Structure 1
Amino acid sequence: MQEEDLPVGVHEDVEREVAKGPLQKEEPLFASIVGYDDVKRLFSLSLSSDKPVHILLVGPPASAKTLFMLECMKLERSYFTLGSHSTKSGMIDYLFEKRPRHLIVDEIEHMPMKDQTALLSLMETGIVAETKFQKTRNTQLKTWVFATSNGTDRMLTPLLSRFVVLHFKQYSFGSFAEVCTHILGREGVPAEIAGAVADAVWNKLKSKDVRDCIKLGRLAKSKEDVEWLAQTLRTYR
């Protein structure tokens, strides 16, 4: 398999924002995430475990779930897929072809039941098997599965039991502003503009999505720009 191969079902927005490849040595994993030191440690313990320990982050949209998945995408041999993306070949062929070390699944609750079933044996024993047209194939993988979900009602109970499950709460404004300021600061946005962006996104756009802060932060060169951008986006919503 060529290193530059792209995963089936790559989320295009995420692919543009995060470069796939080995973890960079100059910055620890999860360094871009504010707080959640206990969750960071749990991920570190999982990654250093001799055998895979899978983690599922559950919570409303615009919590810190996606930030953790973005960081996990920096791991070597990591592949990202959307639970709602279903290919003709499905998860079985995907696992045989890609042989991921780290499988990152966003919105796993939207994954078709046949694909959820395909993950059951992988996560329990590392064995992936399929019988088709009276022919059987199987392989052994050592794969860590890290996933997010807005809820667990659509997930198979046996699949859910294979995860360490963490429930996230939605950001408060204080936490949201801190996260936005931190992320935009890493992109070189001055603190006063970053603070204005966080306020505009939360109070004027009525959004709790950190991605909206990134969009405005990249466009705005002044606090006046922030005000104009927020008003324009409200007009066309």
Structure 2
Amino acid sequence: MSMGEVFLVGTGPGDPDLLTLRALRCMQAADVVLYDNLVSEPIRALLPEGIERIYVGKERANHTMRQQSINALMVELAQKGRRVLRLKGGDPFVFGRGGEEIETLAEHGVPFQVVPGITAALGVAAYCGIPLTHRDYAQSVTFVTGHLQDGSMDLDWIALARPRQTVVIYMGLLGLPVLCEQLIAHGRSAQTPAAVIQQGTQPTQRVVTATLATLAQRVQTEGLKPPTLIIVGEVVLLHDKLRWFQPSMEDDSASLM
């Protein structure tokens, strides 16, 4: 039996129009797909009829399949000659564990291709009218993951609290109060603008803006739920002026301060 192949494909933050042509070609060429919770329904609708679909979850604290099991399943399917499509939200190499997955494939001699996707920070910020860098506000941008460990966030708070930069936090909604408190405690002004975006780039996109001092309470009041992205920095001030994407639902954006 000849060896199959694995296509590790990033699908972007949710809007199917943001898929690359290469991603779409790989989707059409595969005969079995393993997909995450963050792969939106409109993107899944583009999969070929008859393709075998395997949901592998990856929601926080609710993993349908453990990472090691996903890795092993890809190897098993490829060794059976299958063309395996591994779909991930965003970009596979930005907090997507894509490196771990292809390490396993390489160790077992499984051929693979990697198709980058628009990572959530870029796509969501663009759809919110929040430029991540701007000569008047921010000369650098930092991406971090907000997963909690042992009840605290293990982040370089001193570096993140430096001025004139934008900080983008993935998977940080649960720890938002800690995030805001620690940034203020390490020198970032309590009046620093910040935003939380739910389901960015999709028709259900919601944006809540506030300051570090008030953001956690505003988000709780608005009832935002994952998936979300957090953006901290003066560039958030441009949201009201530069917002261009109009979700189909009623606009739930909250005004700054």
Where on the TM-score scale, by shorter chain, does this alignment land: which range? 0.3 to 0.5
Q: TM-score, normalised by structure 1?
A: 0.36
Q: TM-score, normalised by structure 2?
A: 0.34
Structure number having the greater helix percentage? 1
Structure number having the greater strand percentage? 2
